[in-house]
Amino acid sequence: MEEVVKRLTLAVYEIYIEIIESTEKKICASISNRGKIDSCQVIIHCMNQMLEGNIWRLLNKTFVYEFHRYRTSVGLPADKNSTKAFIEYVGKLNREEIGSWFEKYPVLENMVRNNIQNTCDYIMRVLGDYYMDYEELISIMGITNDAMLIELKPMNSDPHNKGTMVLFAKFSDGHHVIYKARSFGADLLIKKILFVLTILLLIYHAGW
C-alpha cells in the first residue's frame, strides 16, 4: 500500500499547497533567525510524516470503497489473485480524483482540510515551544549548550486536541527527548512539590 499512501499524500498536498508551502516558509524563516536546529528540513520532514500518516488515516476507507466502485464499473470481478483493477485505480489517484471524492463527500473534505491546518499549526507550536524552552532543555534535560536538533519525528500516537502528537527529538550531542504538548512549567511545579514533600518528611522523621 506504500504507493497508494504516496499518491494520496501527493494529491492532497497539491490541493492544499498554499497552506503547506506557507508553513514551510514560516519554519525556514524562524530557524534562519534563531538557529539551534540543523536545518529547516528537520522540522519540515516531521510535518510531512505527520501529514502523511493523517491523510492515510482519514482517506483509507474511502480509497477502499472508491476502488471497489471503480472495479465494478469496469466489469472486473473481486479476485484476490488479480491486481489488474487495483493497479489501474492506483494509477488514477491524482488531484482530480481526490478532488472528486471531496465533492461527493464534503464532510470528508472538511475533516482533511482541518487536519492539514491543525497539523501545520501544531508544528509551528512545537517550533515555538522548542525555542521558548531551550534554556530548560539545557538546565533540566542536560543537553549541551551548543547541541543542535538533528531529528524530529512522530511516535505514531493518534492525533488529538487539534492535531497534537507525541514527538521524538534527537540532538547532536546524543540526547533524546520526548516532546508532549505541554510546557516545562507543569514539570517544574511537580518537581518543586515533590522536593517540598521530601523535606517535610525528613523533618517529620527527624522529629524536628
**pLDDT band (50, 70, 90) for residue 206:** very low
**Percent of the chain at pLDDT exceeding 70:** 83
The residue with greater pLDDT, 107 or 136, is 107
pLDDT band, very low/low/confident/very high, at 23 (cuts 50, 70, 90): very high
CA nearest neighbour of 67 among 45, 87, 42, 48 = 87
The answer to whether the beta carbons of residues 141 and 188 sit under 8 Å apart is no
Phi, psi of 152 (to 5 degrees): -145, 125
Residue-averaged pLDDT of the chain: 85
- On the question of pLDDT at 205 being above 80, the answer is no
pLDDT score for 136: 80
Alpha helix ranges (H) inside the chain: 2-15, 17-34, 40-73, 84-90, 95-104, 106-132, 134-139, 184-206
Q: How confident is the model at residue 113 (pLDDT cuts 50, 70, 90)?
A: very high
**pLDDT band of 158, cuts 50, 70, 90:** low
Residue partners of 111: CB distance under 8 A and separation at least 6: 58
Interval 160-166 mean pLDDT: 70
Which H/E stretch holds residue 163? none
pTM for the full predicted model: 0.81
| Amino acid at position 189, single letter | L
Q: Is 152 helix (H, G, I), strand (E, B) or coil?
A: strand
Please, which pLDDT band fits residue 69 given cuts at 50, 70 and 90? Answer: very high
